[in-house]
Amino acid sequence: MMASTSQPGWRRKRSDEAPYAFLSSLYREHQELRIRIFNIGERAGRFVFVDEEVWERDLAREDRLLIADYLIRKVREAKLFLCILGNRHGDPLPFDQRDSSVSFLEIELFQAALLRKPIYLFMLEGFSPDPVLAGILEVLRFALPNSSIHEQLSARDLEEQVSTILQSSSRLGGQPLFTFGHSVIRRLVQRLYLARGPKTRDPTSTDVLFLNGSLSAGTGALDEDLIIRILRASKEQRNEELRLARTWLAIRELMKCNSESYRDPNLLAYWNMALDQWASAAGWYGLHGHLYMGALAAFNSMVKVRKTLRESAPSIADPNQTRYPGGELASARYSIAKHLYGKERDSLLKQALNDANIAIRDYEDPLGSTLSVRAGIHRARGDITQAVQDFEEVLRRREQAGAGAGPIGVALSNLGYAYIHQGRLWHGRDLLEKGVALLEGNFRAGFLARAKHKLAIAYLLTGKPLRAYQESREARRIAREYGAFDQE
């Protein structure tokens, strides 16, 4: 017998349960329909997350950004995403007591698209999206390869289609890219590389661009102060999933400008920051490959932004805002190459090495950040001796510069792991242990998760399988807690 929604504590218990499907719609316009869909799911034995049926909230008193964070997590946990589209965009999601350009409906749809969930869009009879919602659907359409769009439905027809979807046991549902088996990820990354990868040998050429280059909507005036506040909060956010969501708020605000504004140095500087933050979080989140919302796409778009910034504001004070992001591109390409085979893998690693060498040649690297990326590329190409030399130089630079515990911990971990590849097992394990100790409490939890995975391998190779298991399990826990799914 199904549990009744009137039972005490039922909502609180169900709020922590992973749903089979997540239902997104305008809350006030579709209340009765939302409840009926929830009940359809209960009869089918499929838990459909319908917020008001699971958790009672007072939207007038609670922090809506925290509510959005909770909803983002439920979208990730769900196998399917159901979206009912009405005639309005939805209430704007406030940030720091100011309305952003994003609604709850959009942030939910955005998250489902980001995670490549199977998405079902149901458009009721008479549905005609306003310009804002129409723009959202157009921007995200390319990111919905598994979507199924049903138009001009009556409420009864919609319920029948939802019932059919929920009762189908043959469909696996969608899981985030990072939870697929490695063979599936490799095939997907390989196909994307062939479809969207570089078509030229010029190492500075771009291939896939962020949002396929569609960064202008021309729908209103820019709120610069809101963008600054959002980007500041995004930079301070430790959870990579929530960092992406915060950065999306800033990106949507920036997209309000028309294409003619893209010579404005202020606007370009904001785009530069937003793309940098997006790419960083996307890398930890596991968005590797030639994805339109992936790290490489964001860095490629940054190349174009910085080129325009150099041309429109040649006297800009900070050269870091205009330099070619070779180290960042090298890191993104290296991460993709790890999922490729044969000549495609070799070609992308070579391009990554070219990017790193350009950055090392043309720009200062006092902490050896780009040098560290190059060392990883050397290791991936089988040149362990050169990798060790580069990693040793990175550690020397950071110690000489008096870098903090985080950068030193990363350097020790990387060097220790390179020593493991050289056969210097106990020396490598010793450095890895020291690196992990320094990385405890580091702002970017992904570095700690990565170091623990490497230490687990060192323990396994030096006859400590139990310690290896403990470190590996702890690495996965940290990755899940902080949304650094690339390291799960």
Read off the pLDDT of residues 90-112 as tens digits, 9 standing for 90 and up.
566 666 666 666 677 777 877 78
Report the distance separating Cα 455 and Cα 472, nearest Å: 8
Within 8 A by CB and 6+ apart from 284, the residues are: 240, 444, 446, 483, 484, 485, 486, 487
Report the pLDDT value the prediction gives residue 356, as an integer from 0 to 100: 96
- Beta-strand relationship, 98-103 and 92-95: antiparallel
Average pLDDT, the chain: 81
Contact indicator for 104, 90 with CB cutoff of 8 Å? yes
Please indicate whether residue 170 or residue 463 has the higher confidence score (pLDDT): 463
Q: 10-175: what CATH class?
A: alpha beta
pLDDT in tens, 114-136: 777 888 888 888 877 766 666 66
Contact indicator for 152, 127 with CB cutoff of 8 Å? yes
Contact indicator for 408, 399 with CB cutoff of 8 Å? yes
Report the pLDDT value the prediction gives residue 91, as an integer from 0 to 100: 63
Report the pLDDT value the prediction gives residue 439, as an integer from 0 to 100: 96
Report the distance separating Cα 37 and Cα 23, nearest Å: 8
Please indicate whether residue 27 or residue 30 has the higher confidence score (pLDDT): 30
Q: How confident is the model at residue 253 (pLDDT cuts 50, 70, 90)?
A: confident
Q: Once rounded to an integer, what is the mean pLDDT over residues 195-204?
A: 56
Report the pLDDT value the prediction gives residue 318, as an integer from 0 to 100: 72
- Name which of 275, 273, 306, 305 is nearest 293 in CA terms: 275
Residue 197 has pLDDT above 90, yes or no: no
Q: Once rounded to an integer, what is the mean pLDDT over residues 438-464?
A: 93
Write out the two tokens for 459: 């323990």
Q: How confident is the model at residue 265 (pLDDT cuts 50, 70, 90)?
A: confident
Report the distance separating Cα 87 and Cα 461, nearest Å: 61
Q: 393-488: what CATH class?
A: mainly alpha
Q: Once rounded to an integer, what is the mean pLDDT over residues 234-247?
A: 90
Q: Once rounded to an integer, what is the mean pLDDT over residues 247-257?
A: 86
pLDDT in tens, 424-450: 999 999 999 999 999 997 878 999 999
Report the pLDDT value the prediction gives residue 180, as an integer from 0 to 100: 37
Q: Once rounded to an integer, what is the mean pLDDT over residues 394-417?
A: 96
pLDDT in tens, 45-86: 999 998 877 666 655 566 667 777 888 888 889 999 998 887
In this predicted structure, which of 14-23, 139-148, 409-418, 469-478 has the lowest mean pLDDT?
A: 139-148
Report the distance separating Cα 269 and Cα 427, nearest Å: 45
Contact indicator for 414, 393 with CB cutoff of 8 Å? no
Residue 173 has pLDDT above 90, yes or no: no
Report the pLDDT value the prediction gives residue 461, as an integer from 0 to 100: 95
Report the distance separating Cα 174 and Cα 82, nearest Å: 12
Q: How confident is the model at residue 359 (pLDDT cuts 50, 70, 90)?
A: very high
Percentage of the chain surpassing pLDDT 70? 76
Report the pLDDT value the prediction gives residue 99, as an integer from 0 to 100: 65
Residue 341 has pLDDT above 90, yes or no: no
Report the distance separating Cα 338 and Cα 341, nearest Å: 8
- Name which of 386, 176, 383 is nearest 285 in CA terms: 176
Report the pLDDT value the prediction gives residue 115, as an integer from 0 to 100: 77
Report the pLDDT value the prediction gives residue 171, as an integer from 0 to 100: 45
Domain with CATH 3.40.50.450 in the chain: 10-175
Domain with CATH 1.25.40 in the chain: 393-488
Residue 181 has pLDDT above 60, yes or no: no
**403 C-beta neighbours (distance < 10 Å), count:** 18
Please indicate whether residue 190 or residue 376 has the higher confidence score (pLDDT): 376
pLDDT in tens, 279-328: 999 899 888 877 777 899 899 999 999 988 888 876 766 777 888 999 99
